Amino acid sequence: MKYTLLVLAALALPGAALAQTDKVKVKVKTKGQPVGSPVGRYPGGIAPHGSVPMPDPLPDPPAPGAGIRPPGPVPAPPPDYAVPYADRYITQEHLRRDLTVLASDEYEGRETGTRGQKMAAEYISKQFAADSLVAPVAANAANPYLQTFGLEHSAWQPGGALTAGGKAYEWLKDFYAFGRSPFEQATAVQPVFVGYGIEQGDYSDYKGRDVQGKDLLVLLGEPRTAEGKSILSPDGSPTKWSVDFRAKAALAAQKGARSIFFVTQETADKFEKTTARLAPRVMQPTIAFADQPGGRAPAFFVSPALGLKLLGASAAALQQYATATAAAQKPVASKFQPVRFSISAPQQRSTVTTENVLGFLPGTDLKDEILVVSAHYDHLGIIGGEVYNGADDDGSGTVGVLSIAQAFAKAARSGHAPRRSLLFLAHTGEEKGLLGSEYYTDHPVFPLANTVTDLNIDMIGRTDEAHAGKPDYVYVIGSDKLSSQLHAALQETNRQHGNVDLDFRFNDPADPNRFYYRSDHYNFARKGIPVAFFFSGVHADYHEASDEISKIEFNKLEARARLVFFLAWDLANRDVRPVVDSNKP
Ligand SMILES: [Zn+2]
DSSP summary character for residue 264: -
Q: How far is the CA of 356 from the centre of ligand 1 (A)?
A: 16
Cis peptide leading into 394, omega within 30 of 0?
Answer: yes
What's the angle, vertex CA 578, arms to CA 572 and CA 580, rounded to 5? 150
What is the distance in A from the centroid of ligand 1 to the CA of 91?
24
* Predicted TM-score (pTM) of this structure: 0.77
Cα(550) to centroid of ligand 1, in Å? Answer: 18
Burial annotation 54-69 (CB, 10 A radius, 16+ → b, else e): eeeeeeeeebbeeeee
How many angstroms does the Cα of residue 139 sit away from the middle of ligand 1?
A: 29
Best CATH choice for the domain 33-47+56-152+351-573 from the list 3.90.79.10, 3.40.50.720, 3.40.980.10, 3.40.630.10 = 3.40.630.10
The rounded Å distance from CA 583 to ligand 1 centre is: 26
Q: Residue 533 Cα, ligand 1 centroid: separation in angstroms?
A: 14
| Residues in the 5 Å CB sphere of ion ligand 1 | 1, 393, 431
| Max intra-chain CA distance, the chain | 89
Query: Which residue ranges does the chain devote to CATH 3.50.30.30?
Result: 158-345
Task: Give the pLDDT score at 80.
Answer: 81
The CA-CA-CA angle for residues 476, 479, 483, to 5°, reads 170
Q: Spell out a b/e string for 99-115, using b for 16 or more CB atoms within 10 Å of the CB, else e.
A: bbbbbbbbbbbbbbbbb
Separation of 33 CA from ligand 1 center, angstroms? 25
| In 191-329, alpha helices (H) | 240-243, 245-254, 268-283, 304-311, 315-328
Q: How far is the CA of 555 from the centre of ligand 1 (A)?
A: 22
Q: How close is the Cα of 165 to the center of ligand 1, in Å?
A: 44
Q: How many CB atoms lie within 10 A of CB 224?
A: 18
> CA-based angle 163:169:172, to the nearest 5?
135
- 419 CA → ligand 1 middle, Å: 33
Nearest residue to 537 (alpha-carbon basis) of 362, 379, 392 = 392
Cα 1 to averaged position of ligand 1 atoms, centre (Å)? 3
> How close is the Cα of 377 to the center of ligand 1, in Å?
10
Ligand 1 centroid, distance to 379 Cα (angstroms): 6
Q: Are 81 and 565 in contact (CB under 8 A)?
A: no
**Chain centre distance of CA 518:** 5
How many Å lie between the centroid of ligand 1 and the Cα of residue 544? 10
Cα 48 to ligand 1 centroid, rounded to whole Å: 26
In sequence order, what are the residues at sequence separation of 6 or more whose Cβ sits closer than 8 angstroms to the Cβ of residue 17? 6, 9, 10
Buried residues in 157-179 as b, exposed as e (16+ CB within 10 A): eeebbbebeeeebebbebbbbbb
Per-residue pLDDT of the chain in tens (585 residues, 90 and over written 9) = 776 433 333 333 333 333 333 333 333 333 333 333 332 222 233 333 333 333 343 445 444 444 455 556 666 555 589 999 999 999 999 999 999 999 999 999 999 999 999 999 999 999 999 999 999 999 999 999 999 999 999 999 999 999 999 999 999 999 999 999 999 999 999 999 999 999 999 999 999 999 999 999 999 999 999 999 999 999 999 999 998 899 999 999 999 999 999 999 999 999 999 999 999 889 888 898 887 656 899 999 999 999 999 999 999 999 999 999 999 999 999 999 999 999 999 999 999 999 999 999 999 999 999 999 999 999 999 988 899 999 999 999 999 999 999 999 999 999 999 999 999 999 999 999 999 999 999 999 999 999 999 999 999 999 999 999 999 999 999 999 999 999 999 999 999 998 899 999 999 988 888 899 999 999 999 999 999 999 999 999 999 999 999 999 999 999 999 999 999 999 999 999 999 998 888
C-alpha 431 – ligand 1 centre gap (Å): 5
* 543 C-alpha to ligand 1 centroid (Å): 6
- 581 CA to middle of ligand 1, Å? 31
Query: How much distance in Å is there from the Cα of 324 to the middle of ligand 1?
Result: 42
Q: What is the pLDDT of residue 384?
A: 80
Distance 563 CA to ligand 1 centre (A): 22
Architecture of domain 158-345: 3-Layer(bba) Sandwich (3.50)
Cα of 548 to ligand 1 centre, how many Å? Answer: 13
Distance from the alpha carbon of residue 6 to the mean position of ligand 1, in angstroms: 12
Ligand 1 midpoint to CA 382 (Å): 14
Collapsed DSSP state (helix, strand, coil) of residue 491: helix
3-state helix, strand, coil in the chain (%, to 5): 35, 20, 45
The DSSP element (H or E) to which 199 belongs, if any, is strand 199-200
Task: Classify 579 as helix, strand or coil.
Answer: coil
Q: How far is the CA of 380 from the centre of ligand 1 (A)?
A: 8
What integer pLDDT is reported at residue 186 of this predicted model? 96
Between CA 440 and CA 358 the distance in angstroms is: 10
Chain centroid to CA 176: 24
Rounded Cα distance between 524 and 88, Å, is 31
Question: How far does the centroid of ligand 1 lie from the alpha carbon of residue 551, in Å?
Answer: 16
